[in-house]
Chain A
Amino acid sequence: MPKLRFGKGGQPLTDSNLLLVITVSIFAAMYIISMIAFGGGFLNPQQFLNLFNENASLIVLACGLSIVMVTAGIDISVGGVTALVTVCCAVHLQGQGGNVPASLILALAIGVAFGLIQGLLVAYLDVQPFIITLAGMFLARGAATMVEVNPITVTHAGFAALRKIEIRIPGIGYYAKNGNFINSKIELGVIIALIVLIAVFAMFKWTRFGRNLYAIGGNSQSALMLGINIKRTKFFAYLLCGGLAGLGGFIYLLHTGSGAVTQATGTEMKAIAASIIGGFLLSGGVGNILGTLFGVISLVTINNIVVSMGLKGPWWQGITTGAMLCFFIVLQSIIMSRRNGGKAVRPIWMRKSREIGS
């Protein structure tokens, strides 16, 4: 997928790569302009790395969503699953005999369980994915409340040690006020998130399963005719998305150190937004997972920009996120519809009434 074919043999980019290029260019432009306009924090490499530190779990969740979205599906239960995972893992770690490996397994098990049931229902019973994962979302939040109403801070020694792990990057950093050079750091969660990202990237590009996901999103009826087992493929897409939601929940706990029902509120929507900004079309079949990464950090960067502009009210974040999502979608559809014969979701006002001549 990501092989940019600019001019190579006169081959135009595929839709997925075109959208990736757009996303990356816009992010780069946005960041460079901010560096010039606001300076300060934007020039500090640590602030750039914090985009990852703060959002490692969102990256993992968005990877999961990209997997189902490329099949033209959706999973809005991931935020709820994240919350459930933080609560369950926190309760486990604070309880008698709690240990870190077991909590990780617990997190994955919860995620996989949700993915399993949702996947079965969507793939084999043709249930609308939006509805069933909406149910999953309520169920997960409800279950989290049932397990523990009050927020729990994890004090487990092993877990605390794990949280402290951070990787200092040699040569990159900034001078603190007292003149000491401080190397920039990234957290353990970021490493996990990047491994997930690379794994998903490889899966999308080089595995049969990954390509099948794209085929189903492109045209599921055709995919069936081409001999792809669409039910099984869809099932595994949801299963993977669930598993990644579990892992994302664990990373969330690793970052915040506390489990609570209210954790990760609205995260599913952020993950969907990140995937869309990254170039995954809701209609499926198009998108590059690297775009999702840039989608996540674009979402956060825009918020940083808003703060730098002095708009400190919390509502500004919502407004800018909304505006940005809107901007991206319109831009994407304009560009896609301009492509000759491209399978595009055109906005209604751009749709030619006759696409084929008489």
Chain B
Amino acid sequence: MKETVLEMRNISKEFPGVKALQNVSFTLREGEIHALMGENGAGKSTLIKVLTGVYSMDSGQICLSGKPIKIKSPQDAQAFGISTVYQEVTLCPNLTVAENMFIGRGKYSFVKWAEMNRKAKMLLDNLGIPAKPAQQLASCSLGVQQMVAIARAVDMDCKALILDEPTSSLDEQEVVKLFSLMRDLRSRGVGIVFVTHFLEQVYEVCDKITVLRSGEFVGEYSVEELPRLDLIAKMMGKELSSLSEISEAASMVHESESDFVYEAKNLSGSNGTKPFDFSIRRGEVNGFTGLLGSGRSESVRTIFGADKALSGDIRVGGKPARIAKPFDAMKARIGYLPEDRKRDGIIADLSVRDNIIMALQVMRGAFRPFSKQEAEDFATEYIELLGIKTASADAPVGSLSGGNQQKVILARWLLTHPDYLILDEPTRGIDIGTKVEIQKLVLRLASEGMAITFISSEIEEMLRVCSRMIVMRDRNVVGELTGSELTQDKIMRTIAGGAANAQA
């Protein structure tokens, strides 16, 4: 039996109106990679924040190597040997790599650059991190920055390393490197807590899984004894049949012969999108797919007018239209749920209600505000419809979990009753349960006649909802697939192969 590094016993934490954690326990042993799993709002983030001293717990006990400790601040946590690497890199981009590894540590008054750079070089080489000590951190890729953060933690003799969604913004190669670094650390006896939404990654590197649900402890399992489907069931708290339902629903969406909602000929954008033709009918769900950087998001941003179009004839509902800015698109009854919800979507400090009515309010005009009652009714209706988990309609959106924030933006656009709704990565960074809900919702809306463009990095997901896929490479549309062509294999080949190949 490996020695226990960290033990959290019966942790409870309450926020106004929400019991974020109730009697949650978590045990980390040395030399293991331990996945912390749960849906959005399950309490993973809260637990991590309690552990790192960002939040104080209401009750419970944290033991480090058997001794009870009190963690009051991130500094305390560091001093105890508990280090955290967050999804958003928490280093200083303006400093050098070496500085970022050593700043704020130990007792010193003067910086010895030569010694610091030498130590940093040793550590970077030792861990195989491709960065130079004197390099400014901002000039490293995101993945390398994350590894630098890990190197810092390792050098601080961390006993417990917490990786909070470290892979969300990394590409595949960087993930591979990160995993080999994690395995390396495991062999050195470091206990690693790994929080992620990617199930495959859990099965790739982890030894143990602890599942949380709605702030409660569900159980601790070893990876072998918990196959994927069981894990999902444990996370959602029910047997999972939704996935199969979905594929049935998808086949129900037939090729509609109804009118075009939106047509564009020769549309190109200032964001580098090469001219392409695009049209979508009522009740159709299509998708843009392609590798990272292929121009999926750029295309839909051009359609919505979020990025300037350079050329193109646009017809909305059969009539010529000009879409120069998002407001034009909104007037043409087009909605757009942006890829980056934090930057382009939510306004974190405004309430859920204000965020929901925002788009409709803009269309109505700033001088005709909705009455309090109207706004309240809209908000309540959609909070209920989409099952948004919030303390109240008055709570600031920033306080909600990622999936619920996404639902709020979705509610915002549904409220405008668009004819054509563009969803750019609506399921990114949210848990599997909410994912399935959103997929189902998309299909239901389509069956009610709405035209929908659905973009996702997960091809399986797109295959489930889309009846037509537009394949992009290097900002060009290189193919369009429908019906029986819609297989993962075919899509991959279209992405990889030439345009002629795709037409075949």
Contacts and interface: CB of A to CB of B under 8 A. Distances in A.
A222 B92 CA distance: 6
Interface stretch (A84-92, A146-154, A202-210, A325-333): A202-210
A358 B94 contact: no
B354 interface: no
Contacts of B99: 211, 215
Given A15-B94, A215-B92, A215-B104, A208 B139 contact: no
A103 B253 CA distance: 87
A217 B74 contact: no
A219 B139 contact: no
B329 to A, nearest CB: 15
B134 interface: yes
B306 A353 contact: yes
Q: How large is the interface on A (under 10, 10 to 19, 20 to 34, 35 or more residues)?
A: 35 or more
A211 B95 contact: yes
A179 interface: no
B93 interface: yes
A12 interface: yes
A40 to B, nearest CB: 42
A227 B301 contact: no
B297 A228 contact: no
Interface string A110-128: 0000000000000000000
A206 B110 contact: yes
Interface in B65-99: 74-75, 78, 84, 86, 89-96, 99
Interface stretch (B13-21, B225-233, B288-296, B405-413): B288-296
B367 interface: no
A211 B271 contact: no
B150 to A, nearest CB: 14
B298 A358 contact: yes
Interface string B104-141: 11001111010000000000000000001011101111
A13 to B, nearest CB: 8
Contacts of B95: 211, 214-215, 218
B307 A219 contact: no
Q: How large is the interface on B (under 10, 10 to 19, 20 to 34, 35 or more residues)?
A: 35 or more
Interface string A177-205: 00000000000000000000000000001
B93 A226 contact: no
Given A221-B90, A223-B92, A225-B90, A343 B138 contact: yes
B124 to A, nearest CB: 14
A291 B50 CA distance: 44
Interface in A218-265: 218-219, 221-228
Contact of A354 (B74, B307, B455): B307
Most A C-beta atoms less than 10 A away, residue of B74, B95, B100: B95
Nearest to B135: A11
Contacts of B105: 226-227
Nearest to A220: B92
B103 interface: yes
B92 A12 contact: no
A343 B136 CA distance: 10
Nearest to B424: A358
Interface string B257-295: 000000000000011000000000000000000101111
A226 B138 contact: no
Nearest to B306: A353
A227 B149 CA distance: 13
B104 A218 contact: no
Contacts of B296: 358
List the 3 closest A-B pairs by CB distance, nearest first.
A357-B293, A358-B297, A218-B92
Interface of A: 5, 9, 11-12, 14-16, 205-212, 214-215, 217-219, 221-228, 285-286, 339-343, 352-354, 356-358
Given A217-B94, A354-B301, A357-B298, 13 more contacts: A14-B94, A15-B94, A208-B111, A211-B103, A212-B104, A215-B103, A221-B90, A226-B90, A228-B104, A340-B139, A353-B270, A357-B293, A358-B297
13 contacts: A9-B132, A206-B113, A214-B94, A214-B95, A218-B92, A222-B89, A228-B104, A285-B94, A339-B138, A353-B271, A353-B301, A354-B271, A358-B292
